[in-house]
Structure 1
Amino acid sequence: MTVAIRDAATVLVVRRDVGGASVLMGMRGAGAAFMPSKFVFPGGAVDPEDAQVALARPLGPTCRARLLQEDGLSPDAIAAAALRELAEETGLLIGRPGGAPCGWPGHAKAGLTPDAGPLIYLFRAITPPGRPRRFDAHFFVADAADIVGDPDDFGAACDELSHLHWVPLDQAGALDLPFITEVVLAELTALIRDLPHDQPLAAPDTVPFFDNRGPAPVFRQIA
């Protein structure tokens, strides 16, 4: 049976200080159809309504251009999905005061318009054939400094991810991780390895892409 490939967006929120870096992760439920009991980053499928969300700022020009060159993807919809999934699964918000009203409960209550400006496009991967669900997943990085409010307050999170916590980057490999999560963590480590903790994140030179649409997997770089 052919399984449709859905666009998806995932956010790696990284916290950096003089003591090192940590990344926000949670565990999927044992009964989940996709990656049960695995530690993952907040994320999920793009909904049709995501294309209608007004953003305070779009993705940066480099990240936006890389999404536009790939299959006519909608950068705004994918960025909106990333911010929505982050808010739903962790309760954490990235947004700016004022702007167009937002129907998402957390942003609306806080008076924030979702802000894609801080998101950095890091990685893309399409789920291989033979899985019960397949996604064209776009992985973004955001700095914890761009979260509005307390980055340790997960009180507004839904129950899709349990054990939400900030994992030291050098200890994340000890968790029960999907293979692709291990690969993306390596890309995050490379991105921030020589970056001082008080310097802003910047787009990588290229975005790795595991393309599993065809009969054979293809690995390439999106420049």
Structure 2
Amino acid sequence: MTDSPIIDKTAIRNAATVIVLRDRISDPHILMGQRGAKAAFMPNKFVFPGGAVDTADADIALATPLPHICQARLGEQSDPDLAHPLAVAAVRELWEETGLILGQQGAWQATPPADWQTYAATGHLPTADALQFVFRAITPPGRPRRFDARFFLLDAAAIATDLDDFSAACDELSHLQWIPLAKAREFDLPFITEVVLAEVEGRLDTPEPPQNVPFFNNNDEASHFLRLRGHVPDWNRD
């Protein structure tokens, strides 16, 4: 009998995180929850919903794609083919961890994979046109889990369901709540979340996706704070 494969838990996994912003002009709030005390990654911290990309995410069709500029920025210093599964993972993780649906009404043409069956049962198809890629960060070395996380800003107005109904959420995050943006730093937050909050605060009056995106790159040698600001392709060109 062969030995079971050893999973490297410190390998960097691609991940998607969703920053849902409610009442951004009049009284901005963000949706956060608390990780469990026994969680291997960031125990007890208040975080945005999100998680690692699953293999099946690459095969899920989106009823509407990401904005073109977000696709372009996601492809910088990364595999361009990851843009689609990252967007899909953002929709899936938002559903799993909060019970909120980003999508439009419609019937699935094929049987969805296991991770998508409860979402599909609501009669929605996933959409990504409201997601805005606003931040990227790689977990520093030495942590029990490492992620290459892409943060997506989402205006709560794009959510298809009741913003205060978390009844379909899994139990990965507790104390799900809309936190006033001005008071978010009073909670126990990871360092990178505080950095991302500053980026969100600077975008309250800007509904369009950013032209350039901060990238906190923690590799094995050093930490670099970069900007993804490459050329925007001509999407109408043959």
- TM norm structure 2: 0.87
Which of the two has higher C-alpha Rg?
A: 2
RMSD of Structure 2 on Structure 1 (CA): 1.6
Which residue number corresponds to residue 178 of structure 1?
A: 190
Higher mean alpha-carbon deviation, 15-24 vs 176-185, is at 15-24
Q: Aligned-pair distance for 1:35?
A: 0.3
CA contact (8 A) 1:87 1:106 kept: no
**Do structure 1's residue 93 and structure 2's residue 101 form an aligned pair?**
yes
Any stretches of 5+ residues in structure 1 without a counterpart? Answer: 196-200
CA contact (8 A) 2:16 2:87 kept: yes
Relative distance call for 1:17 and 1:53 in structure 2 (3 A) is same
Which residue number corresponds to residue 45 of structure 2?
A: 38
Q: Aligned-pair distance for 1:2?
A: 8.4
Any stretches of 5+ residues in structure 2 without a counterpart? Answer: 1-7, 230-238
| Matching residue within 113, 119, 142 for 2:125 | 113
Higher mean alpha-carbon deviation, 59-68 vs 211-220, is at 211-220
| Matching residue within 11, 23, 47 for 2:18 | 11
Q: Aligned-pair distance for 1:213?
A: 2.1
Q: Aligned-pair distance for 1:99?
A: 5.6
- TM alignment of 1:161-200, pairs within 5 A: 161-192=173-204, 194-195=205-206
Amino acid in structure 2 at the alignment position of 1:162: S
Q: Aligned-pair distance for 1:164?
A: 0.2
Give the Cα separation in 2 of the matches to 1:164 and 1:2.
Answer: 27
Which residue number corresponds to residue 217 of structure 2?
A: 211
Give the Cα separation in 2 of the matches to 1:164 and 1:105.
Answer: 23
Give the Cα separation in 2 of the matches to 1:77 and 1:58.
Answer: 11
Give the Cα separation in 2 of the matches to 1:87 and 1:149.
Answer: 11
CA contact (8 A) 1:56 1:99 kept: no
Q: Aligned-pair distance for 1:97?
A: 1.6
Flag as ranges the 4+ runs of structure 1 deviating above 4 A.
none
Which residue number corresponds to residue 67 of structure 1?
A: 74
Which residue number corresponds to residue 147 of structure 2?
A: 135
Spell out, residue by residue over 1:19-51, the C-alpha distance to the aligned partner (whole angstroms, 9 max, x if none): 310000000000000000000000000111110
Give the Cα separation in 2 of the matches to 1:75 and 1:107.
Answer: 21
Spell out, residue by residue over 1:53-74, the C-alpha distance to the aligned partner (whole angstroms, 9 max, x if none): 0101111000001112222141
Amino acid in structure 2 at the alignment position of 1:210: F
Give the Cα separation in 2 of the matches to 1:132 and 1:17.
Answer: 35
Give the Cα separation in 1 of the matches to 2:24 and 2:59.
Answer: 36
Give the Cα separation in 2 of the matches to 1:179 and 1:217.
Answer: 14
**Do structure 1's residue 78 and structure 2's residue 90 form an aligned pair?**
no
Question: Aligned pair count?
Answer: 217
Which residue number corresponds to residue 198 of structure 1?
A: none
- TM norm structure 1: 0.93
Q: Aligned-pair distance for 1:109?
A: 1.9
Relative distance call for 1:18 and 1:65 in structure 2 (3 A) is closer
SS state of the match for residue 23, structure 2? strand
